[in-house]
Structure 1
Amino acid sequence: MTALPDWMLTLPEEGVTAEDYDRMPEEICRRIEILDGSIIVSPSATPRHNRIARLLANALEQVAPAPWQVTTDVDLRLSDVPLNNRRPDILVFSGDSNILPVRPHQVLLTVEIMSKGSVSADRLDKPAEYSVAGIPHFWRIEQEDAGLVAYTYRLETAAYTPVGKHADRLRTDEPFPVEVDLDALG
């Protein structure tokens, strides 16, 4: 049995605080998310998952109007107390790209690429958290046997409303006009 790292053994009983997290090395932060102060360890993404994220982020970056910019796998601080820190696969946000974490008021769109180990989180938990935080748009990319399927959502009142289900080609005007060949991503 593998021993737990020292940093996990010395966590405060009340959970990880924003200050605790901000002091952690980046190599640890890249592998975890924090939900209500509790650490959620994420397995490494597959090369296919990373390829989909990179190519989709590149496509979004080409059409994102100013002041929006696109990034992958960075901290999104949903709340400080209790600490809720997610790392969406793709973020479309505005603001200084050197200042982390990104805050919800800066975000236009979050994208999650669903993996076998993240089905419940990507279909239920994360959309609920992002909508409560007021993020206007959410997309989920599912890796199905027949290829990729993109589900797009818009925030209405306090929850996301489905806007579209896209197979083969993601074509939408929300949050800005974009067309992506899903088959080329996978």
Structure 2
Amino acid sequence: MTALPDWMRPPREEGWVAEDLDRLPEAPRHTELIDGALVFMMSPQRSWHGRVLTSLTTTLMTAAPAGFEIEREMTIRLDEHNRPEPDLLVTTLPYDPNRTWYAPEDVQLVVEVVSPESAHRDRTVKLRKYAEAGIPHYWCVEDERGAPVVHVYELDGPTGVYAPAGIFRGSLKRPVPFEISLDLDQLTPPTTP
């Protein structure tokens, strides 16, 4: 077994902190920080994941009114030891080409397209962490026999946890964070038998 490269060793006993991600040029793309540990997306993404994410990104960019920006694969600094990278987010901050992360209060919606290697984190860990950080809306996009199914959650203010707001198949209509109407069947090309 080969030794770990120096950049993979935490710089302190309590682990990594959010700012460390900006100082790790050797780290693989899509490196997240969860509870002070680096999480690497090492396995290749399925074509389904890429198609859904690209289609969803372009569709939301087209639908977003002035004052909303759509970002893909940008981290959110939830706290000192957590900086996850959602697949997509909606923010109210203007575009900044030098930005490397967002604060939770600047994020209106987080979208995760579930992959086998991220399923546990997307369905449980991130669901809890995004709610605790106060992000108002969370979508978890699942693959149901090749079709995207969106599980929508809204933050319940009094409890600080996400409440299910619906499971959408075929189409999705939501009034928040802005008026959204999606034909979910158009997010992926039809498969040939």
TM-score by length of 2: 0.86
SS at match of 2:102: coil
Instruction: State the superposition RMSD in angstroms.
Output: 1.8
4+ residue segments displaced more than 6 Å: none
C-alpha separation between the residues in 2 aligned to 1:171 and 1:11? 46
C-alpha distance in structure 1 between counterparts of 2:40 and 2:24, whole Å: 14
Alpha-carbon distance change, 3 to 50 in structure 1, aligned in 2, over 3 angstroms? farther
Q: Does the 8 Å CA contact 2:67/2:94 hold for their aligned counterparts?
A: no
- Whether the 8 Å CA contact 2:52–2:148 is kept in 1: the answer is no
Structure with the bigger percentage of helix: 1
Change beyond 3 A, Cα 1:107–1:39: same
1:178 to 180, 184, 188: 180
Point out where structure 2 has 5 or more consecutive residues left out of the alignment: 189-193
Structure 1: distance between partners of 2:62 and 2:47 = 23
Q: Provide Cα deviations, 1:136-175, integer angstroms capped at 9, x if missing partner.
A: 1001100111511111111112011111111111222222
TM-score (normalised: structure 1)? 0.89
- Within 5 Å, give how 1:33-182 maps onto structure 2: 33-43=32-42, 44-80=44-80, 83-98=81-96, 99-145=99-145, 147-157=147-157, 158-182=160-184
Post-superposition CA distance 1:81-126 (Å, at most 9, x none): xx21011000000224322311101000000001111221111111
Question: Identity rate of aligned residues, in percent?
Answer: 37
Deviates more, 1:56-65 or 1:2-11: 2-11
The letter for the 2-side match of 1:12 is R
Cα distance in 2 for partners of 1:40, 1:15 equals: 12
Equivalences, count: 183
Question: In the superposition, relative to structure 1, how do residues 10 and 87 fare at CA in structure 2: closer, same or farther (>3 Å)?
Answer: closer
Q: Distance in 2 between matches of 1:146 and 1:30?
A: 26
From the superposition, tell whether residues 24 and 159 of structure 1 become closer, same or farther in structure 2 (CA, over 3 Å).
same
Structure 1 residue 32 and structure 2 residue 40: aligned? no
Q: Is the 2:30–2:73 contact (alpha carbons within 8 Å) kept by the matching residues of 1?
A: no
Q: Distance in 2 between matches of 1:140 and 1:55?
A: 15
